[in-house]
Amino acid sequence: MDDFVNLICPNSPSVWDGNRLSKCFGNIVLGFGANAVTIVMIAVLGINQRTGKRSLRMNFLEKFFFLFLPAIGACISFLDIALLLKKAHHGFFIAHHEWFFRCSQFASWTLIILFSKCFNGCYIFCNRILCFWWIVKLLLGTLHLLTAYPPFQVLLCVKEICTVSLDIIFGVSINIIRIKQASYKRSSLEDSLLSADTDVEEGCLNESGDTQSYFDLMTFRSITSVMNHGVTKQLDFEDLLQLPTDMDPCSCHDTLLSCWQSQQSSCPDPSLFRAICCAYGWPYIRLGLLKVLNDCVGFAAPLLLNKLIRFLQQGTESWDGYVLAISLGLISIFKSFLDTQYSFHLSRLKLKLRSSIITVIYQKCLYINLAERSKFTEGEIQTFMAIDSDRTVNLCNSFHDMWSLPLQIGVALFLLYTQVKFAFVAGIAITISLIPVNKWISTLIASATVKMMKQKDERIRRTGELLTYIRTLKMHGWELLFSSWLMETRSLEVMHLTTRKYLDAWCVFFWATTPTLFSLFTFGLFALMGHQLDAATVFTCLALFNTLISPLNSFPWVINGLIDAIISIKRLSRFLSCSQHKSKLETTAGSSSPYFSNDKSEIFHEDKAVVFDDSCFAWSSSDEKDLDLVLKHVTLGIPKGSFIAVIGEVGSGKSSLLNSILGEMRLVHGSVYSCGSIAYVPQVPWILSGTIRDNILFGKHYDPKRYLDTLEASALDLDISLMVGGDMAYIGEKGINLSGGQRARIALARAMYNGSDMFILDDVLSAVDAQVARCILYNAILGPLMKQQTRVLCTHNVQAISSADTIVVMDKGHVKWVGRSADWPVSSYSVFSPLNEIDICLKNESQECSAVEDIHVESQQNLVLEKDTVPASDRTQEIIEVEARKEGRVELTIYKNYATFSGWFISVVICLSAILMQASRNGNDLWLSNWVDATRSSRKEYSTSFYLVILCIFCIVNSILTLVRAFSFAFGGLRAAVKVHDTLLKRLINAPVQFFDQTPGGRILNRSSSCFCYCHSGISTANFRSTSRELRRLDSVSRSPIYTSFTETLDGSSTIRAFKSEDLFFARFTDQVKLYQQTSYTELTASLWLSLRLQLLAAFIISFVAVMAVIGSHGSLPINFSTPGLVGLALSYAAPVVSLLGSFLTSFTETEKEMVSVERALEYMDVPQEELHGSQSLHPSWPYQGQIEFQNVTLRYKPSLPAALRDISFTIEGGMQVGFIGRTGAGKSSVLNALFRLTPICKGCILVDSINIASAPIRDLRGHFSVVPQTPFLFEGSLRDNLDPFQLSDDLKIWKALERCHVKEEVEAAGGLDIHLKESGMSFSVGQRQLLCLARALLKSSKVLCLDECTANVDTQTASIIQKTISSECRGMTVITIAHRISTVLNMDSVLVLDHGILVEQGNPQVLLENESSRFSSFAKASTM
């Protein structure tokens, strides 16, 4: 073996020659070995793929790379062989390893040419394995170049560089061509499946940039048109770049989802991380190889700098200096392209991953049922979308950096060893000593992050709760209480954020001071070891130190990012692992056998729409073991085409029975079977932001006849005809600009138009008045559009119960009785009516239909727009205003405001410390330059110790300034974040209700959920700044609909699942994500366009400085370039300018873009404010009697709209109980809006106990009234806090109030006053929640009690009991009731009838009943409630 080695490598070490890898090793292993593997792979692939493959189309440039580059390579290799032959001919000894390497190189290029011409070369060279191998070959070639580059043999170096460059260019080319061809094949496959609109799709593909030239791709020229528009006008979404096809959110979603599903099927504990690796692992690994090359090229500049300074020190006049100077510039140019391409492709991958994650989260929310979702709060789920998805995406940066940064540090340390020998151990000691410190800090940061995220979830949940129920909170005067609770959560979040930020500051301090300490200890030890410092050594080391700065400073952030990503991935994995809603005809519990096991049973139940067999259900997730059964052992069959009325007392399980049919509950025991499609109308109607038509169609095709029939049947035709814009009028978020009755009827119309096999209707009649309820019952539920289908109605409406084919009576989760309506003793369920309404109904049912038609015609003359608050207005803009977007540069006042929030003193400290810190660094380097010049000129005036002491002083000063800068940055950012959030919250809670009516909650949440912790610095250019600002604004605007849509979907997911509309909403969401993706992609391209040009400019500066230094060293210039120390200093500062100049400008533009977030937050600090202060203070016991007097009151919601109240006057004496009735939209709720000053009145005044309420402080005023809203409001927290939020009552008083409201037993069964209510009090039924709200109002003991149809969602018996409770318990109190049921107001002292905002009748209800011509009498006769 030794003989063979001596034969191959005579007179040469086989591996190491003492300084570097030996030439023999480089030629045999790195050269010949790599070429041999290449030859074998090409031959094997060529033989295997020479048949059965059609030719792929290649453009001219691709053919050039396949033929011309190999030809050049072959020529250079042949020239090498000719030179070797010439040397051998002249008697020189040529080692065998030289022949092996040169011949194998020629053979590989020749084989490439041969296979490109004779076989289908594109298939061979675009093979995935060969493409990967060529990247490996590039690295081997780079190592071989190092072995073939002895000092100052520049021409030889140039030739070798050309040889390796051909490998690099060819390797990059075939990888690009392979990707393009793969894309072409996919598009070709899609083209064959496209229909007649192929041209449109192809046009879209061409615009997407998939067919751009290499030059355009490398230089980002596609952004030029966008930037031209950005300078001349405000950018719009149509000006953005088209997304590449592989970045489409649908394809990204499918990629990740398939990998996640395979994880779920193959692993008991599925991991989102493994799914991400499966989906995007290979492209990510390829990027890693590009990063390796980029990092390696980064070290070429310090090495060339070393050789150039040594050249300048020697003062020779050869051409080597020019070659080295130009090479320094070329290396910078090459690295510029590598940097930007790596950043571009990594960012593209991050955008694809972000799109994948948020679409998968959204789809999960569409399919996970309410029971399974109960283990997550709504705020937590919103955090998954807003925070955790971004942190998971940032894993792309952190994961590569985890191996790249240590590699860069390691290579830098090795190169330092070559310069200063073992003196670099001092630097290693500094680095190693910081590792345990860094680990300890990282552990603390991880702990603080987990705690911070928990509080952030809670804060977002509380913010969402406050925004959702702001109207109710203002009526109770609780907005300050809720904001204080939110602030408590925020303070805990800020506490953990502060811990994290200050720990980050320590990280910054330790790692930022490391290079300075490094230079001090390394040069100090090197000098003390007796070595002489020279310019080449010092400034090469300084260049290496500068190279170390970035990885050293980045490392703690990388670790923190990795920790955040790991935590977020675990959270997302837990959410995505939840079991999904089963869209099956049959569902069985656990592992029990299916209910239907034989053909006979299927035949027996083929006429059934729904069958329950001993079914038990719970509102708990599959993880919970302690089950609280809500439905117990239900056995029930619902025939197809029948009308089923589900009745029962409050909390008996009616709504739960309907949800069990929908699959929203957890089936614990037994089975449930359902067939056919389902349309669902929930008890609290779910309304989409959009037009009325969009809400009714719900993605279905528009059929004019069916649509008009639906509007008529649901009594919506007149409402819509009176709206400005008709059915194209825009509905605000959650139907905020509609009344409860209109929301219910739109939800019903949606179900009717859908035309499903079964209708699940949860108490749809309670939200409308008696006449409209009759219209809906006979024209809709019993009408032609629904009569043939199965209808399951949960109701307290006696007429609907009487009309049902089957009645199901629920009692405490059990089915108590099932039978025909004729067999059911209706009188036992209904309340005795003096009008004998039920008898009228039953005796005259044959005449009822025609009577209803007459009533409907009459109502069309009287019905006005239902909303007593904000009617639908001029088209879209007047209801939901388009999100504002400022134009032009970020104003200076924004920066001044942010500096004010941070504190001017801190802002000055930040700027000064940053400047002085950099100055101390520069002083440190300048002192080193002076030291080496003094050493070189042998005029050393001071001892080595003196130079070291001064260097040490610079180091200490730099460390102190770095510490000050780090902590002042952290303190200033935190202070600004706290002040911006607190000020924004204060302004929002003081805003009038109209602001929230016109602004979607998702938009507010988007602006208020940021931390506003931004601190950057930099410079800018006009073109890029104007474009980047507009792109960031577009980015913010495109993000808001995602949050709004996501929040909306969370609220209505059960309705979406019932209608099987998951695909419709997913498509709508992906369109919004696509727009957001398109904005981000354009913003990315714009930033890299700038970065590339700045780096190319910096490369020119480097070349210019280097060439001028060489010319000056020859004495060819009239000016003197001073000492080699100063030249070295200039060159060592010129090298990092490549990255510093780019980051400098990028930081400034990033600051400006981040300031857009502050700008948007500050916009909401200028929202209109309520008049909080009054001229007259209120006594704690006011009102004394409760007398209310309206004097000529007129109220408009907008100047452009008709008056909701028209010059009305009335007086309610203290202690009276008064009811307001009228058609929906008559102005009933407007009376309460005026009384509570939710909307300012235009004219007149309102007196309470002779005090004009306009002069009273608004919160004091509302706090002295009690109110029970139409939609019950319970917040997350203990039941005691819900009933007595200010903790003014003892438990005995609370229990007594619950007993008076007949809900004491249910509370005791649920666990007492300390039970924790989930969001919206979902653990109680809607009726029970209404009773709890009534108990809360009674506890307040106010002289004025306002009830906005608080008995709408309870059964008739309970409603009667509540009325008796109010009559007996509220004596001496003024009670104002907004009523739909006539029975609600029959026993009151007075009734006021409103119509079109005008008071048309007032008097005692019994007296008015006797007068047949009175309006109240006509209402009573029409009512069957």
Predicted confidence at residue 197, as pLDDT, reads 37
| pLDDT at residue 356, rounded to an integer | 94
Helices (H) and strands (E) in the chain, counts: 53, 24
pLDDT of residue 353: 94
User: Residue 39 pLDDT more than 90?
Assistant: no
pLDDT band at 679, cuts 50/70/90? very high
Q: Quote the pLDDT of residue 1066.
A: 94
Which range in 1002-1016, 1125-1139, 1210-1224 is most confidently predicted, on average pLDDT? 1210-1224
Q: Which H or E run includes 823?
A: none
Q: Which two tokens stand for residue 515?
A: 């290079």
Read off the pLDDT of each residue in 1361-1370 and give the average, rounded to a whole number. Answer: 77
List the one residue out of 639, 589, 468 whose CA is nearest residue 1051.
468
Say what the pTM is: 0.65
Token pair listed for 1342 = 């106010």
Token duo for residue 1207: 């010059």
Highest mean pLDDT among 222-236, 412-426, 439-453, 743-757: 743-757
Q: How high does pLDDT run on average in the chain? A: 78
What tens digit of pLDDT does each residue of 1016-1037 get?
Answer: 333 334 445 556 656 666 666 6
- Over residues 555-602, the pLDDT tens digits come to 777 887 888 889 999 999 999 998 875 544 445 554 333 333 333 344
> What sign results for the dihedral spanned by CA atoms 849, 854, 859, 860?
positive
Please state, for a pLDDT cut of 90, what percent of the chain lies above it: 19
Count the Cβ atoms, other than its own, within 10 Å of residue 768: 25
Write the pLDDT tens digit of every residue in 1252-1268: 999 999 989 998 999 98
Mean predicted confidence (pLDDT) in 1174-1197: 89
State yes or no: pLDDT of 866 exceeds 50: no
| Higher pLDDT among residues 1039 and 359, named by residue | 359
* Structure confidence by residue, pLDDT tens digits, 1114-1138: 666 554 455 666 666 776 666 566 5
How large is the average pLDDT for residues 714-723?
A: 84
Least confident of 17-21, 908-912, 1330-1334: 17-21
| Cβ count within 10 A of residue 999 | 22
- 316 within 8 A of 366, measured Cβ to Cβ: no
The fraction of the chain above a pLDDT of 70, given in percent, is 76
What is the pLDDT confidence band of residue 1203, given thresholds at 50, 70 and 90?
confident
Average confidence (pLDDT) over 884-906 = 74
Which has more confidence, 1165 or 983? 983
SS3 442: helix
78 has a pLDDT exceeding 90: no
What's the CA gap between 1124 and 160, in Å, rounded? 30
Residue 208, pLDDT score: 47
Cα separation of 250 and 1071, whole Å? 9
- 39-53, 960-974, 1052-1066, range with the lowest pLDDT: 39-53
pLDDT of residue 355: 93
Considering only CA atoms, which of 649, 650, 651, 646 is closest in space to residue 610? 646
Q: What band does 859 get if pLDDT is binned at 50, 70 and 90?
A: very low
pLDDT at 1425 over 60: no
Q: Tell me the residue ranges of DSSP E strands in 217-353.
A: none
Confidence grade of residue 684 (pLDDT, cut at 50, 70, 90): confident
3-state SS class at 38? helix
Q: Mean pLDDT, to the nearest integer, of 490-512?
A: 86
Lowest mean pLDDT among 125-134, 238-247, 339-348: 125-134
pLDDT value at position 898?
Answer: 81
Q: What is the pLDDT of residue 792?
A: 95
How confident is the model at residue 172, as a pLDDT? Answer: 67
Q: What tens digit of pLDDT does each residue of 514-543 get?
A: 777 777 888 888 888 888 777 778 777 777
Beta strands 790-794 and 643-648, pairing class: parallel
Q: Which amino acid is at 1020?
A: S
pLDDT at 658 over 90: yes
Q: What is the mean pLDDT of residues 48-57?
A: 53
Pairing of strands 1398-1403, 1390-1395: antiparallel
Residues in the chain: 1425
